[in-house]
Structure 1
Amino acid sequence: MRITGITTHVVGTPWRDLTYVLVHTDEGLTGVGETRMLGHTDALLGYLREAEVNHIAGSDPFAVEDLVRRMKYGDFGRAGEIVTSGIAVVEMACWDIKGKALGAPVWQLLGGKVTERVKAYANGWYTTERTPEGYHAAARGVVERGYRALKIDPFGNGRLELDAAASRYAVSLVEAVRDAVGPDVELMVEMHGRFSPATAVRLARELAPYRPAWLEEPVPPENLKALAKVAERVEMPVATGERIHDRIEFRELFESQAADIIQPDVGHIGGILEARKLAATAETHYVLVAPHNVGGAVLTAASLQLAACTPNFKILEHFNDFADAEIAKVVRGAPEVDPETGCFTISYAPGLGVELDTEAAAAFPRQRARFDLWAEGWERRRPA
């Protein structure tokens, strides 16, 4: 079997564009991959056009390791987010083809499952009025849908510092959510890499009574010593990793013990197997894995293949129930959260278990949506 070429399909939503890639073969099998870029969609599409000629066309889709190696190192330049995202969409599509050809889910090809269910946490639910009352009502709705975990970024437009009034207001939002969901629901707090270590530590202490399940990306991701400084001074778990796009770059993070939970994005880090290799290294450092997952149903399905065969997998982020109602028909077989358990059930369907409906996708043209963390009212417009 050989890859004959790829086609790309960009699906637009009001708050982000999703890039789907179909990998075609000479035996008629087609695989699908997906990622979500932030303002770099054209760069990704350009890279994929070149990679199709240089590396992809003519390759054996079963030889995943060889194709990834050539795409990552064959052009000599260092692989940044664009390259690793391009590798990811092609890599997961190759696994989809391989699973379909063999009649097996991808997790079966990666060593077999270690679980039947994967806990989900809700994101994108808080596109409501940014008040304690609004967040309280929205959070209640999340729990009523069956979720046992959810995440919130309560910090508005804070950057490096957050003044006293804004800090009190952020705490009031978290307090309202905790009151709404009760003591047993996991409540993750997102900081989006906004703050200085001192500010992050202060805010963590103010939020401690509401028992956050983790503090996410408290400082910008480039300085791991700053992250370690925070981790040493807070009692709650620290999570990070969505903006680290090469598993090799996690080495320093593990060595510094600056994070309790890593959040690689399967659509950015080079695909399913790359994420599985990273998870294995994390396991040797007693670190849990909770992938960043802000894509659509294909990326969710790919992340669940990883979850099924990863012993140190904690939980999976999920937007699709709250932010994607208008594009639900684009992907057939989309994973769903069981309202009784708040979990995904592992699929036994061959490959990724999902299919892209290209005709349905064409009804949602690209919107060139932006994610601007510092824009006024961004929380109401663009979850992340």
Structure 2
Amino acid sequence: MKITDIKTYIVGNGWKNWVFVKMETDEGIHGIGEATLNGFGKTVEAAIHELKPYVIGKDPFDVEMHSLKMFRDVFSDGGQIQGAALSGIEFACWDIKGKKLGVPVYKLLGGKCHDHLRVYANGWYTGERTPENFYSMAKKVIEKGYTALKFDPFGSSWKAVDRQDFKLAIDLIGAVRDAVGEDVDILIEGHNRFSVHTALRFAEEMAIYSPTWFEAPVPPQSVSAMIEVAKRSPVPIACGEDYYCKEQFAELLSHNQVHIIQLEPQFMGLTAAKQVAGMTNAFNGVIAPHSAQGPLCSIVCAHLNTATPNFFIHEIFDDFNAPWTQDILTHTLDVKDGYIEVSDRPGWGTDLNLEEISKHPYKRENFLALFRDGWEKREPVENF
């Protein structure tokens, strides 16, 4: 079997342009992938076509070699852009392998370690940033059967915050804890916002509400800063979604301080993601992959999680996107009582719905502007 072509499609979702890949072969089997990166839809699409010559005419089964060449042989550090493009192509190879062999991708990754996956809700807090509204919205999430939910209570904060906004963020965390009770996990999203000092102040104040983790409290570029927070925080630290190669995770894990690793398969490929999961296991850590892109990203993470012994919890946005987004793929994940199960259909078990995709074109304003007031409403950014 040989790869003959790679096509790309962009879906203009209101808060992020989703980038999809369709790989064709000389045997008529095609595979799909996703390469979404916030704010860089067209850029990643171009990168996919620049990487395409590395795989055209090659066997899609040789996925690890393709990943190596698309990362190493370019001899440039393209960061998340290169990683997203690589992943979109690599995911399509895995899909083709599964279809050709008649098995779901998780079977190719080592087989089933979990019959079902516990999930946490994200994307649910799209209203006003008040304790009363967060309380009300959190109640609705729990009524849907979720046993865990994540949110960013920090508004547009960056590096440091004033006393009023500090108090509001803590009040929002308290309101959510009051809404969901003591038996539900709450996960606090930091979005790389703070200095070490500010992050630790927040960690100390939120600790009374028993968060399961404080995610990405400081920028990812400085591993030493993340380690400093992890050493001193009374709340477990989770991070990793920004990294795009194994070496970055090796440095993070070598300090033995962060044990909840949120690798992003869509920035490094599934081959590397499985290896990072194994590295994490060696440090007695667990993985909770970042799954906040499009619906295929969520399915990819579900296959990885199903085949990973040290899986912790799966992120779900799909339930809180616009209804039409459920039609972008022929099959999506179905959340029941706070859990999902991966399909046994071959490959990813789904396909692109090109007719629906054509209705939602790319728009430059479709991205999540995390440092603007009201970003959590996930509305298109009209004025940059």
Q: After TM superposition, is the score higher than 0.5? A: yes
Q: Measure the CA separation in 1 of the matches of 2:67 and 2:374.
A: 40
Is 1:25 aligned to residue 19 of structure 2? no
3-state SS in 1 of match to 2:57: coil
* Residues 300-331 of structure 1, C-alpha deviations (whole Å, 9 max, x = no match): 11111100110111111111100242321110
Q: Is the 8 A contact 2:259 2:283 kept in 1?
A: no
SS in structure 1 opposite 2:265? coil
| 1:302-341 equivalence runs, <5 A | 302-338=300-336, 340=337
Residue 79 (structure 1) shift: 4.3
The one-letter code of the counterpart of 2:329 is V
Quote the offset at 1:296 in angstroms. Answer: 2.1
Question: Matched residues in 1 for 2:46 and 2:193: separation?
Answer: 31
Q: Which amino acid aligns with 2:375?
A: W
Amino acid at match of 1:372: A
Q: Is the 8 A contact 1:116 1:308 kept in 2?
A: yes
Matched-pair identity in %? 39
1:156-180 Cα deviation digits (max 9, x unpaired): 1211111211111111111111111
Alignment partners' CA distance in 2, 1:243 and 1:306: 18
Q: Note if contact 1:11-1:17 (Cα within 8 Å) is conserved in structure 2.
A: yes
Across the aligned residues of Structure 1 and Structure 2, the Cα RMSD in angstroms comes to 1.3
Give the match for residue 142 of structure 1.
141
Contact 1:10-1:366 within 8 A present in 2 as well: yes
Could you give the per-residue CA deviations for residues 356-375 of structure 1, whole angstroms, max 9, x where no partner exists? 11111111111221322221
The whole-number CA distance in structure 2 between the counterparts of 1:177 and 1:160 is: 24
1:345 aligns with 2:351: no
Q: Is 1:15 aligned to residue 11 of structure 2?
A: no
What residue is the counterpart of 1:133 in the other structure?
A: 132
- Quote how far apart the aligned CAs of 1:56 are: 1.9
Q: Given the alignment of the two structures, is residue 356 of structure 1 paired with residue 352 of structure 2, yes or no?
A: yes
User: Is the partner of 1:31 in helix, strand or coil?
Assistant: strand
**1:382 to partner: Cα distance:** 5.5
Query: Given residue 65 of structure 1, which amino acid in structure 2 is its aligned partner?
Result: E
- Contact 2:261–2:286 at 8 Å: present in 1 too? yes
Between the aligned partners of 1:254 and 1:361, the Cα distance in structure 2 is 40
Specify every segment of 5 or more residues in structure 2 that has no aligned partner in the other structure, as ranges: none
Partner residue of 1:370 out of 358, 367, 372: 367
Structure 2 match to 1:209 = 208
CA–CA distance in 1 between the matches of 2:372 and 2:157? 11
User: Structure 2 CA distance, aligned partners of 1:361 and 1:166?
Assistant: 40
Report what 2:297 is aligned to: 299
SS of residue paired to 1:21: strand
Distance in 2 (CA, whole Å) between partners of 1:257 and 1:93 is 34
Question: Who is 1:281 aligned against?
Answer: 279
Count of residues in Structure 1 that have an aligned counterpart in Structure 2: 379
> Is the 2:216–2:237 contact (alpha carbons within 8 Å) kept by the matching residues of 1?
yes
Worse overlay, 69-78 or 205-214: 69-78
Alignment of 1:260-279 (within 5 A): 260-269=259-268, 271-279=269-277
Take 1:6 and 1:367, find their aligned partners in 2: how far apart are those partners?
Answer: 22
Please, which moves more after superposition, 215-224 or 67-76? Answer: 67-76
2: CA distance, partners of 1:287 / 1:382: 36
Counting only pairs closer than 5 Å after superposition, residues 72-151 of structure 1 correspond to structure 2 as 72-151=71-150
Contact 1:73 1:79 in 2 (8 A): no
1:124-165 deviations in whole A, cap 9, x for unaligned? 000011111111111111111111110010011211111211
- Using the TM superposition, name which of 279-288 and 68-77 deviates more: 68-77
Contact 2:48 2:89 in 1 (8 A): no
Following superposition, the deviation at residue 93 of structure 1 comes to 0.8
Deviations 1:162-208 (A, max 9, x none): 12111111111111111111111110001111111111111111111
What SS is found at the alignment partner of 1:331?
coil
- 8 Å contact kept, 2:3–2:25: yes
Which residue matches 2:239? 240
The question of whether the paired residues in 1 share the 8 Å contact of 2:51 and 2:86 is answered with no
CA contact (8 A) 1:22 1:93 kept: yes
CA distance in 1, matches of 2:367, 2:38: 7
The residue number in structure 2 matching 1:46 is 46
Superposed CA offset, 1:25-60 (max 9, x none): 1111111111321222222111111222x2121110
Whether the aligned pair in 2 keeps the contact of 1:44 and 1:85 (CA below 8 Å) is yes
Mapped contact 2:67–2:271 kept (Cα < 8 A) = no
TM-score of the superposition, structure 1-length normalised? 0.96
Taking the TM superposition and a 5 Å limit, the aligned residue runs for 1:224-235 are 224-235=223-234
1:27 is matched by which residue type in structure 2? Answer: E
Q: 1:69 to 1:306 in 2, by over 3 A?
A: same
Q: What 5-or-longer segments of structure 1 have no aligned partner?
A: none
| Kept after mapping to 2: 8 A contact 1:91/1:272 | yes
Q: Distance in 2 between the 1:382 and 1:307 partners?
A: 31
Q: How far, CA to CA, are the matches of 2:316 and 2:121 in structure 1?
A: 5
The separation in 1 between residues aligned to 2:76 and 2:294, in whole angstroms, is 30
- C-alpha deviations, 1:91-110, integer Å up to 9, x for none? 11111110011010111111
